[in-house]
Structure 1
């Protein structure tokens, strides 16, 4: 019996195909993966995150939610929970034009992927200055800031904890508190 070989998707074939789909799909290492829904808690945290980013941003940058695709520097396509885009606003675009910060709200089912494969993908994208992982189960976040060597390196990551913990993105003028993102979601 011969093993069936999966054909790898090209970027253009993926974009053309996905534009016709009813649900979102990520392109990861030449394979297409359907995006699944999240819990109510995940949804509320993601919405709060987007609203907080909207309030904090100025100077031409915009916050988008989980329906905006990010093209990574290694040829993958990701749908982060939130993205800050400082590129030119193109109303018909399907991709962030100049993503500078990406955020993932961690769930038990996605945490490992967010902390490994997505970190790899965002590290390969030079425009991304910040990668923020926010736990939905604990008052905890991990902030990766692109270092002088041009990397989002675990050795430079900042662990943020507690209700008063602040996620600060100084070049964007953004400060977010973990307590505000988690307020009322303990149940």
Structure 2
């Protein structure tokens, strides 16, 4: 009978160095490292559409990142690094080379494999970021965006048509623009 192998733990410094050299992206949760899956065409189209809108409309003091920038979250009990699909960070002092700690907006494009984690684990972790004002989850199999706002006590707002407003960056977003070229 095969015996389960103990999980190897890695420290933060080794994780960051390893990510610089790795062809595969990994997320980090309390010393454990998890490889990330690839994404679909719809996933990429939605991300690009949103990033294009954000970069075009936001002031230069705000940075917009897609897919390859990590968010670092540290609490008394936890240390995590995640790769959100889109990050907006506007804090001048938050300029580490490989990650951001003070985003105002985090966006995840949902997939079958990540949906549960995005709605539960990551959502709880992201709520610990004091500067985070909004968390946006975007479906890729249908036209639907779910927006959580700190100012609304993280209650979900679901949009399936029309527009919604991102208070964190003072931007009106059209679902038609967000889903441009996406095929269901």
Please state which band the TM-score falls in when normalised by the shorter chain. Answer: 0.7 to 0.9
Match of 2:104 in 1: 100
Once the two structures are TM-superposed, the CA of residue 95 in structure 1 deviates from its matched residue by 0.8
Query: Counterparts of 1:37-52 in structure 2 under 5 Å?
Result: 37-52=38-53
**What do the CA deviations read for 1:83-121 (whole angstroms, capped 9, x no partner)?**
001123887711125211100111122111111111011
**What do the CA deviations read for 1:128-183 (whole angstroms, capped 9, x no partner)?**
111100111222111111137xxx63xx2211122x132x1224212211111112
**Contact 1:86–1:97 under 8 Å retained in 2:** no
> Which consecutive unaligned segments of at least 5 residues does structure 1 have?
none
**Shift in alpha-carbon separation, 1:21–1:47, aligned structure 2, 3 A:** same
Match of 1:118 in 2: 122
**Shift in alpha-carbon separation, 1:3–1:174, aligned structure 2, 3 A:** same
Deviation above 6 Å: which 4+ runs of structure 1?
89-92
> Which consecutive unaligned segments of at least 5 residues does structure 2 have?
none
Once the two structures are TM-superposed, the CA of residue 5 in structure 1 deviates from its matched residue by 2.3
Structure 2 CA distance for aligned equivalents of residues 138 and 160 of structure 1: 11
Greater RCO (Cα-Cα under 8 Å, separation 6 or more): 2
Aligned residues: 180
**Contact 1:56–1:173 under 8 Å retained in 2:** no
- The CA RMSD measured in Å over matched residues stands at 2.2
Normalising by structure 2, what TM-score? 0.87
Match of 2:29 in 1: 28
Query: Counterparts of 1:17-166 in structure 2 under 5 Å?
Result: 17-58=18-59, 60-73=61-74, 74-88=78-92, 93-147=97-151, 153=154, 156-162=155-161, 164-166=162-164
Normalising by structure 1, what TM-score? 0.86
Once the two structures are TM-superposed, the CA of residue 126 in structure 1 deviates from its matched residue by 1.4
**Contact 1:130–1:169 under 8 Å retained in 2:** yes
Structure 2 CA distance for aligned equivalents of residues 183 and 172 of structure 1: 21
